[in-house]
Amino acid sequence: MQIRTAADRLPALVEYLRTRLGDDVPEIIASQIVRRRPDHLSWVDEQTRS
């Protein structure tokens, strides 16, 4: 599963996944994007704020 979110929303997402995945120790990997298209960044922000 791949989930995209803004960096400031990551702690809430991690907590949500940890409480609902059912695995004893879920593997959650976060990657920082160094370069990206501005229109994609805007899209991610719009999707994670609604």
Task: Report pLDDT digits (tens) over 1-50.
Answer: 888 888 888 999 999 988 888 777 888 899 888 888 889 888 888 888 86
20 assigned to some structural domain: yes
11 assigned to some structural domain: yes
Give the angle subtended at the CA of 23 by the CAs of 17 and 28, to the nearest 5°.
Answer: 45
2 assigned to some structural domain: no
Contacts of 10 (CB under 8 A, 6+ apart): 30
What are the structure tokens assigned to 36, written together?
Answer: 């990206």
14 assigned to some structural domain: yes
pLDDT of residue 12: 93
**Domain encompassing residue 33:** 7-49
| Number of structural domains found in the chain | 1
1 assigned to some structural domain: no
Distance between CA atoms of residues 40 and 18, nearest Å: 27
